[in-house]
Amino acid sequence: MQASPADGVNHDVLEFDSNIKSLCFLQDAQLAATSLENGTFEIVHMDNLQKKSKLSTIQDTVNTYGTETGILSIGERSGINVVDVFEAKTQINKYKFSSSSVVKDTATFCENRVLSLLVYDEDVKKSSVNLVDFRTPTKYSTTIKSTDETINSIVMTKKDEKFALSTKNGIIRMYDVRNSSKPIDVAKVDGDLNHMSLVNEKLSCSSTTSHFIFSVQNGISFEQRILTQRKKWISGFLPGTTVCPLYVVNGSEKSCYVYFTAADQLSAKKSNDTLAYKAERPVVATNSSEYFLAGAGGNLCQQLCDFEKEYRKLKDINRKYRKNSATDFQEQTRQRYEMAGIAEGDRVIFDNDVKLDDVILKEEIESGAFGEVRVCESKKSGTKYAIKILRNTRAIVAEKHLLEKEIAIQSNLLHENIVQLVTSFDSTDHLYIVFELMMCSLRDKMEVCECFDENSTFLIMADLSCGLDFCHTENIIHRDVKPENCLFGSDIKWKLSDFGLSISKQGMTKVGTENYQPPEILDGKPHSFPVDIWSLGCVFYECLEARNPFPQSSTKAMIDAIMSGKIRRSTYMSEDSLMFAKEMLTVDPKMRLSVLGVSRHLWMKKQRKEIVAIKRSKLRNQL
């Protein structure tokens, strides 16, 4: 399906075996979910609009929202359906409503961790706004009760702070989430409202004939009324530029084209449309900062919508520029080794056309539910590597997405204390990722040695803190530092591995291994670089004590101990070592040591001096 040569661009269209009811992007905007009328939803990747996996959902979907790990679907009567894409698990009716309750509309805040549900009770003829907080065991709490049966839409107007309710007869009320006893501001428009949306900090209130645009920075201030002209339609709005904050998705009943037009140009006799493409009128739609997805019947259409680049006409083939961007991980690997001064002959199998035929698969290192890790040997040089082999099945599509993220991060981390990613390639049946071959993990060493002396622990800490310092300099938070992910190489250095949970600068999701998680992650708060220092402190304690500083994982005692920072009484540690551990295991992340503070700590300096003295003594004895 293509647009006219003069006005349009190519776009991708995907067909489903059922009508599309709702759309949403996951927090990683390269994945989107399409909820279908047949009670399923399909995960779609933005690269060439590929279908990735299919899972069950609910048939009476009102809205869907993407989280970092999955999808929230809210049913009109059936409840809330929680789907973990990464675990390929569906939990239907996690929160149920009473039989007389009907969900009219929904909104979310706190990074989609809290739902605001506009619910109408058919028995008592009342509307209410209920909050569902996924961070607590409380099922819901009611913030507003109203006898107004005409309330039909809810939207957040300011992140985590304010929301608005509209009624069918044109009244809009704004409330504060923290105190919703009475509205902050009220506005009235002429016409029956049927929907509200917030785009680029502008509140759009829609009726059958008009769209009313309000500024919601300070209360509700009317800005513009956009009339739907005769024999034309407007399906929604998109965020625009600083010059024109809103773009209108519109079209004509006589035309088979969809247009993206600046809101201030829409009433012009001959509007200068930024984009036109041939497609059906959207029934449901969603957008990220880069893509616009529209559903009509069983067809899903994808289009580029980054207006900040201020295109006059998008005449280039849609999204083809992405194929020339830095997504070729093998090419990235080649370039970073060149930058590091590694000769071509030493790079061995780092060619862009690496295939499975270029290596010999050898003994297995470990295996899991989705694949295995084996030793492989380059046919060209005989050099051995570790190769991660994953089966190319639907069940692990989300896991593969995490691995793509891991590849993207790790391909940019060239450091002697980070396990080096060599290359990646795939086949019809498998995905392959090649790393430098390591000798063992810190966990393996612990099982043999139980606990280390202070000199050995210093060498481990010096290497790991150096690797973390480089990660933090590159704005990468590891988020899963533990003995299993600290590997020992043939170059006698300890290195960080497994960047599958890594993130840039700041995160919100509860990730990692529980007894290595800091209080801010367990508490569901925003977190940053200090989380790695906490985990490093746990590793330090375990090296010297042969046990974790907190009780057994997944117990109330463990959570209470972590939240209070109460570590176990030490048996083998010196007083200086214990104080060092406590400074890394400080509950307040702002008071916790930085990675530079770890490497420069008095304990580290003392151990460094002792090791230097031992080496000097050995040299003197050789004279």
Interatomic CA distance for residues 10 and 356, integer angstroms: 35
Q: What are phi and psi of 142, to 5 degrees?
A: -95, 130
Distances (CA, A) of 354 to 320, 403, 414, 421: 24, 18, 20, 14
Secondary structure E strands in 85-192? 89-95, 101-109, 114-121, 126-133, 141-146, 151-158, 162-167, 171-176, 185-188
Q: What angle do CA 404, 327, 22 make, to 5 degrees?
A: 65
DSSP reduced 3-state for 536: helix
Annotated binding residue at 19? Answer: no
- Spell 207-237 as b/e; 16+ CB within 10 A means b: beebbbbbebeeebeeeeebebeeeeebbbb
CB of 480 within 8 A of CB of 500? yes
Task: Select from 550, 507, 499 the least CA-distant residue to 529.
Answer: 507
* The two structure tokens encoding residue 265: 């140009």
Annotated binding residue at 379? Answer: no
**Other Cβ atoms within 10 Å of 403 Cβ, number:** 20
Annotated binding residue at 484? Answer: yes
- The active-site residue, picked from 480, 532, 560, 588, is 480
Interatomic CA distance for residues 304 and 318, integer angstroms: 7
Q: Which residues 6+ apart lie within 8 Å of 69 measured at CB?
A: 84, 85, 86, 87, 509
At 537, the amino acid letter reads G
Interatomic CA distance for residues 505 and 521, integer angstroms: 14
**Catalytic (active site) residue 28:** no
Number of residues in the chain:
623
Annotated binding residue at 362? Answer: no
Exposed / middle / buried, residue 343 (Cβ in 10 Å: 0-12, 13-18, 19+): exposed
**DSSP summary character for residue 571:** S
**Other Cβ atoms within 10 Å of 91 Cβ, number:** 11
DSSP reduced 3-state for 256: coil
Q: What are phi and psi of 45, to 5 degrees?
A: -95, 140
* The two structure tokens encoding residue 228: 């739907």
Q: Which residues 6+ apart lie within 8 Å of 585 measured at CB?
A: 534, 537, 538, 541, 549, 565, 567, 592
Cα 123 to chain center, whole Å? 41
Which residues carry a binding-site annotation?
388, 484-485, 498
Which residues carry a binding-site annotation for ATP?
388, 484-485, 498
Mind telling me the catalytic residues?
480
